[in-house]
Chains A and B, each alone.
Chain A
Amino acid sequence: MTEYLRNNADTVWLALQEHVWLALLPVLLGFVIALPIGYLGVRFPALYHPLVNTCGVLYSIPSLALFVFLPVVLGTKVLSPVNVVVALTIYTVALLARTVADGLRSVDPVVVQAATAMGYRRVRRLAGVELPMALPVILAGLRVATVSNISLVSVGALIGIGGLGQLFTRGFQLFYIEPILVGIVLSVLLAGLADLLIVLVQRAVTPWTRAV
């Protein structure tokens, strides 16, 4: 494995870089889109169940199908990384919109009432009380989305998109195990690292969860 890495350092490094932004950009986009959608699911309770069901159906579309099919819908080139970014953003939204709604619903109503009684209006109460209280649940969902995105990007290699999946298809075509192993190890390490980072951020921004 080390020998393969030494001889192909450039290829692997490039694949790793592509993998990182192909996986993480959708997390960011998905998070920003999911916040208002999840909030709507709480603000209008009638929307909650349709929201959960839609998210479930979206999440069940196989990634390969979405990667292949988005160019047709979006008019992009089959080899364009935009397809992977959009597809993974859809999965992230499907996962996080529900988590945001569940997180906001998990906030103790007594706390919300207390904030209202203290004179917090809807927007300030949301930003200052409800969202922070919902953070542990939301960030748990963000961890799941990040880790599964990092492992899903590699499927893009089947349609020729870069990332560590390229090492899988190359190894598979050559019947050569080294690049596949390198790809798997790097992908798992990357997921672990991203997961750890979110945990650290969560500790920093929700100090009250540790006090209990």
Chain B
Amino acid sequence: MDACRVNLSYLLDPAHWEIGAAYSIPTLILAHLGYTVLALLIGTVVALPVGLYIGHTGRGSFLAINAGNAGRSLPTLGLLMLLVTLLGLGLLPVLIALTVLVVPPILTSTYAGMRSLDRRVVDAARGMGMRSWQVLTRVELPMALPVLMGGFRSAALQVVATATVAAAVGLSGLGRLLIDGLAVNDYSRVLAGAIVVAVLAVLVDLSLALVQRWIVSPGLKGTD
């Protein structure tokens, strides 16, 4: 392979940054972020209540502990291709496959966050006359947030990196640069894809770190 042909030309070419143009980098970033946000949203809606329930009641902790490893062992590419074979091409198989990726880390970290807090605090809350629901929403959830956000951030990183496989089944997203670049031996395009995805992952993680700083109670800082 001729390594000299690989350079930043594709990434730096203004023509590839034209806003709104099909297959331009901003369009692909937008699609990529779209898959990521949707998968994270659906995954949180599914995993957070289950994790809170398990953490609050202590029932089903086996599920929460083992979900993480079970989810990691499931090959996303295989799942995606299975779903496409069953459901046909489209957004749905991609969203399901990415959501399956998101659920285990959020579930496990919600549970771990709830379990990591001092049980005496929960006892004190109950002793002050708080109802079960109030204990959950005003004490347990806020105190579990640092650990929970850690799980959410690693889930987000994973989805940003994995959403590239959407291109393998004909969808958009930054995986297009990788798959199409490979198909036509345009390795500068592949490099552009790799760099943009990695930068996007770092930016997503940084913004989530800011969100974490904003939503975690100041009373909990320094203990994390």
Determine if A172 and B169 form an interchain contact, defined as CB atoms under 8 angstroms apart.
Answer: yes
Residue among A57, A152, A157, A172 making CB contact with B85, cutoff 8 Å: A172
Determine if B165 and A64 form an interchain contact, defined as CB atoms under 8 angstroms apart.
Answer: yes
Scoring A152, A154, A168, A183 by chain B CB atoms within 10 A of each residue's CB, the highest score goes to: A168
The verdict on B218 contacting chain A, using a C-beta distance below 8 Å, is no
Residue among B82, B157, B190 making CB contact with A180, cutoff 8 Å: B82
The interface residues of chain B lying within 8 Å CB-to-CB of A143 are: 69
Complex interface residues of chain A between 152 and 187 (CB less than 8 A to chain B): 152, 154-155, 157-159, 164-165, 167-169, 171-172, 175-177, 180-181, 183-184, 187
The verdict on B197 contacting chain A, using a C-beta distance below 8 Å, is yes
The verdict on A45 contacting chain B, using a C-beta distance below 8 Å, is no
The verdict on B76 contacting chain A, using a C-beta distance below 8 Å, is yes
Contact with A along B166-196 (1 / 0, CB 8 A): 0011000001001101100001001101100
Smallest Cβ-Cβ distance to A53: which chain B residue? B202
Determine if A65 and B190 form an interchain contact, defined as CB atoms under 8 angstroms apart.
Answer: yes
Determine if B78 and A154 form an interchain contact, defined as CB atoms under 8 angstroms apart.
Answer: yes
Determine if A177 and B85 form an interchain contact, defined as CB atoms under 8 angstroms apart.
Answer: yes
Task: Give the CA-CA distance A169 to B165 in the complex, in Å.
Answer: 12
The interface residues of chain B lying within 8 Å CB-to-CB of A72 are: 1, 3, 6, 187, 190-191
Given A62-B194, A144-B72, A150-B73, the answer on whether A180 and B78 have CB atoms closer than 8 Å is: yes
The verdict on A191 contacting chain B, using a C-beta distance below 8 Å, is yes
Given A75-B1, A154-B75, the answer on whether A177 and B194 have CB atoms closer than 8 Å is: no
Determine if B73 and A187 form an interchain contact, defined as CB atoms under 8 angstroms apart.
Answer: yes
Task: Give the CA-CA distance A66 to B191 in the complex, in Å.
Answer: 9
Contact with A along B67-108 (1 / 0, CB 8 A): 001001111111101101110000000000000000000000
Task: Give the CA-CA distance A78 to B69 in the complex, in Å.
Answer: 31
The verdict on A50 contacting chain B, using a C-beta distance below 8 Å, is no
Determine if B178 and A65 form an interchain contact, defined as CB atoms under 8 angstroms apart.
Answer: yes
Determine if B161 and A61 form an interchain contact, defined as CB atoms under 8 angstroms apart.
Answer: yes
Task: Give the CA-CA distance A180 to B187 in the complex, in Å.
Answer: 29
Determine if A60 and B85 form an interchain contact, defined as CB atoms under 8 angstroms apart.
Answer: no
The interface residues of chain A lying within 8 Å CB-to-CB of B169 are: 172
Determine if A61 and B79 form an interchain contact, defined as CB atoms under 8 angstroms apart.
Answer: no
In the complex, besides A65-B190, A184-B79, 19 extra interface pairs with C-beta distance below 8 angstroms are A56-B157, A59-B157, A60-B205, A61-B194, A64-B179, A66-B194, A69-B187, A77-B1, A78-B182, A147-B69, A151-B75, A159-B182, A164-B78, A171-B82, A172-B84, A180-B81, A184-B78, A187-B74, A187-B78
Among all A-B residue pairs, the 5 with the closest Cβ atoms: A191-B73, A65-B194, A60-B201, A172-B81, A62-B161
